[in-house]
Structure 1
Amino acid sequence: MPVLSAVWLVFTAAHRLLSGRVYWWNLPDLLPPLAFLGVPLLLAVLGLAARRWFGVALAVGALALGWSCNGVYASALWHRPGPVPADAIRVYSWNTFYWEQSPGAPPDADAFYAHLHAQRADVYLLQEFLYLEPDWSPLPVPDNGRLRTEFPGWHVAISGELVTVSRYPITTHREVDLRPFLERPWPDLPPADTLMPAYYTVKTLRTDLQVGGRALSVYNAHLPVPVVTLPLRDPDTARDALARYDVRQASFRALAVDVAGNDQPILLAGDLNTSPAMGDRRRLPPGLDDANDGLYPYSWQRFGLPLWRLDWAFGKGIEVHRCELVSPQGGSDHRGQLITLTL
């Protein structure tokens, strides 16, 4: 038992050191966050049963070292949010799972828009505003007229797969281009044959909203997954992993630079494809507060199973009163984030 506890402690230490710093650690990055809670607890219980005190100590050390990776927020046990002011702003952030064309299900635009309207949001931050070709290449949504029809008089900003819909005026919008922040040149970014070049080069869309007499900067983000069975562009798996790592790190850098030069109140929300176990979180811009108020806020689910958090919301210069996770009603594999805030 002490040997197993020692192995897990060494692994946890290596994970804390390497995650988010080297691309070849991307597979351990996919470990479920709850493993950093469940494994050391199991080892500690087994050690107690066997009276192997040294093994118990090692397991407890691994539990403490990996606590920030397990996705559990113990503060939710004693934190109770206060009342929501009447003038609070409702923001709904959601990975739509390829708009209403969810793979494996027939398109159902009526149900899709009914879900959006049911959130009664003032601002919508939507990701995966795209369709897919048979080889999983992105395609623009053939007709976005339905979106504007469903939200008459609202303000819309679109960049690649990212769309922000606001009942407040959008004074400016900016694509946060990741290419200037890449560590290595990738001539195929974007691919010459793509119909959605911004899908590859813009993973964050910033919109500045006029809310009453004040400004609010909203960042709508969707980062690529760190590893996937289908290559980003290159058939070589190792090279694909390196490309994804570069794109993810460049996305974080681009976002951090933009936020650093922004003195307005900020909301950053979206699918970061980053679990609580991943060291990439240290790349987030400093000064942003996590809006979560749940004990174990999982946003990703597959096969009917609750998994872990991939979608995040952060604020600066705002007060978040609620951050609720909303069931997609079968329309996506991500739960939406309904964020209630005031400036």
Structure 2
Amino acid sequence: MAAITTFAGQRSKDSRIGKLGQIATVTWSILLIFWLATDPFVWFWVPWDSTPTSVLIVVPVLLSATVPFMRYRRWAWSLTLVSALVVCLPKTDVAHQFFPRPECKPSPTTSPPITVLSWNTEFWGDGRYSTVGTNILRANADVVALQEVQSDVRQKYVAYTPPDFPWSSYRNIIRKGELMIATNLEVLSDNKDDARIPFLYVDIITPSTRVIRIINVHIPVHLSLSLDARDRDFYDFIRFRFSVRREEFKKLSAAIDESPYPVVLAGDFNSTTSMANFRSATGKLCDSVLAAGFSNPMTWSIFGLSLWRPDYIFTSPGVNSLVYDVLPMDNISDHKAIRLAIAL
């Protein structure tokens, strides 16, 4: 009798797990449908989009563990979770790293590689300019794209000339607002005086005599962690920045389409790969994270968790991404730097 009671109790517990799994699966599916349908147009998905993209994989995987406890139509619940995973996978960092599009895979080339460094230099203490320079020199890049080089700091960057400071070794320094590009390669043209678009591009002649366009971007942040989520200002900020960011992504998409040369797009996008407007602007390019192998490509952390990648380098199809490194840069900035070796 005791055995029967124990069996009945276990079966009841299993049934509860199965029902909870079904409820969670239905809730997750409805959430995904509304998100996919409205994400490009409405601002209230911003907090959702700001979560690590690994959540889109982890949730259906965890829910699949409840399928054996479901009493009816397990195949249908399994199919639902597999479909959710398949739909969400292209919107994750994992997909770009391990499942690149065919046109993005490296092809044989004899062109000498060049190295591009992208780094948001917003750093926490004054008096560390030589340390910044030392880290940039150590990266040994042919092209350096920096973001958040504020006006007062920029003056010190340019005026600071000890032997260990990098600008003494880069003969071409192009500045536009908070954006800088430095290179020793020959510069064909740039848009530093064009106020119509909020980013900086430089057309560079590579050692193989090919021309590439380096675009340096800093997209405004979408969330303000200094505002209280219980206050209306928090949501007003999100709504305003959503419209600003959407317009900048449209301009960026147009600039990519209009470029007469292959593009290398680098910068701090303050975005995750799950954001629809971000994907729309960069979707024709290749995410260079495919060259990262099994290394961790995340460039920003909070509470010690490196789960976010707001910094990217994209390339036009046909530009081979060879070696992708994330550099801590002595933790001067809250962002790590990306160094990418490319070849045409």
TM-score normalized by the length of structure 2: 0.78
Offset, 1:115: 0.9
Q: Does residue 1:165 correspond to 2:176, yes or no?
A: no
1:336 aligns with 2:337: yes
1-structure distance, mates of 2:64, 2:252: 41
In structure 2, the partner of 1:21 is 41
Report matched runs for 1:3-22 at 5 Å. 3-22=23-42
Of residues 129, 132, 147, the one that matches 1:109 is 129
* Structure 1 residue 77 displacement after superposition: 8.2
1-structure distance, mates of 2:342, 2:65: 42
The one-character-per-residue Cα deviations of 1:178-205 (angstroms, maximum 9, x if unpaired) are 86xxxxxxxxxxxxxxxxxxxxx72x21
Aligned residue type for 1:94: W
Residues 118-176 of structure 1, C-alpha deviations (whole Å, 9 max, x = no match)? 11111101111127xxxxxxx55442334666333520011111110001122221159
Q: 2:118 aligned to 80, 93, 115, which one?
A: 93
- Contact 1:176–1:205, Cα closer than 8 Å, also in 2: no
Verify: 1:252 aligned to 2:229, yes or no.
Answer: no
Q: 2:81 aligns with which of 49, 59, 69?
A: 59
Structure 1 unaligned blocks of 5 or more: 132-138, 180-200
Mark the CA change 1:298 to 1:226 in structure 2 (over 3 Å): closer, same or farther.
same
CA contact (8 A) 1:176 1:206 kept: no
Pairing 1:40–2:64 present? no
The verdict on how the C-alpha distance between 1:75 and 1:49 changes in structure 2, with shifts beyond 3 A counting, is farther
Between the aligned residues of both structures, percent identity stands at 23
Q: CA RMSD in A?
A: 3.0
Which residue does the alignment assign to 2:211?
215
Q: CA 1:77–1:207 in structure 2 vs 1: closer, same or farther (change >3 Å)? A: closer
| Partner secondary structure for residue 151 of structure 1 | helix
Structure 1 counterpart SS, 2:44 = helix
Greater Rg over alpha carbons, structure: 2
Post-superposition CA distance 1:248-278 (Å, at most 9, x none): 1121111222222222121111111111221
**1:225 correspondence with 2:225:** no
* Corresponding residue for residue 278 of structure 1: 275
Range 239-248 or range 272-281, more displaced: 239-248
Rounded Cα–Cα distance in structure 2 between residues aligned with 1:112 and 1:176: 27
Residue number among 150, 161, 166 corresponding to 1:150 in the alignment = 166
Q: Which has the higher helix share?
A: 2
Give the Cα separation in 1 of the matches to 2:236 and 2:147. Answer: 26
Cα distance in 2, alignment partners of residues 147 and 124 from structure 1: 17
Instruction: Provide the C-alpha distance between the structure 2 equivalents of 1:310 and 1:144, rounded to a whole number of angstroms.
Output: 24
Paired residues of 1:47 and 1:55 also in contact (CA < 8 A): yes
Residues in 1 aligned to 2:195 and 2:154: alpha-carbon distance in whole angstroms: 23
- d(CA) in 2 for partners of 1:147 and 1:276? 37
Query: What secondary structure sits across from 1:329 in the alignment?
Result: helix
TM-score, normalised with respect to structure 1:
0.79
- Provide the rounded CA distance (Å) in 2 between the counterparts of 1:328 and 1:159: 23
Instruction: Supply the distance in 2 between the matched residues of 1:7 and 1:247 (Cα, whole angstroms).
Output: 31
Whole-angstrom distance in 2 between the partners of 1:74 and 1:338 = 17
Please point out which of 61, 64, 69 is paired with 2:91: 69
Q: Paired residues, what number? A: 306
How far does the alpha carbon of each residue in 1:250-309 deviate from its partner, in whole angstroms, 9 at most, with x for none?
A: 211112222222221211111111112211233215532222223563222233321122
**Secondary structure in 2 aligned to 1:21?**
coil
CA separation of 1:331 and 1:248: change in aligned 2, threshold 3 A: same
CA distance change for structure 1 residues 37 and 312 in 2, over 3 Å: closer, same or farther? same
- 2:319 is matched with 318
Cα displacement (A) at 1:39 = 1.1
Checking the alignment, whether the CA contact within 8 Å between 2:221 and 2:270 is kept in structure 1 is yes
In the TM superposition, residue 113 of structure 1 has moved relative to its aligned partner by 1.3
Counterpart of 1:171 in 2: which secondary structure?
Answer: strand
Task: In structure 2, list runs of 5 or more residues that go unmatched.
Answer: 1-20
Say if 1:328 and 1:82 are closer, same or farther in 2 by CA, change over 3 A: farther
Using the alignment, how far apart are the partners of 1:74 and 1:285 within structure 2?
Answer: 12
Asked if 2 retains the 8 angstrom alpha-carbon contact of 1:92 and 1:124, the reply is yes
Q: SS at 2:66's partner residue?
A: helix
Asked if structure 1 preserves the Cα contact closer than 8 Å seen for 2:115 and 2:143, the reply is yes
Structure 1 distance, partners of 2:276, 2:206, is 35
The correspondence for 1:123, drawn from 137, 143, 146, is 143
Residues 248 and 297 (structure 1), Cα distance of their counterparts in 2 relative to 1, 3 Å cut: same
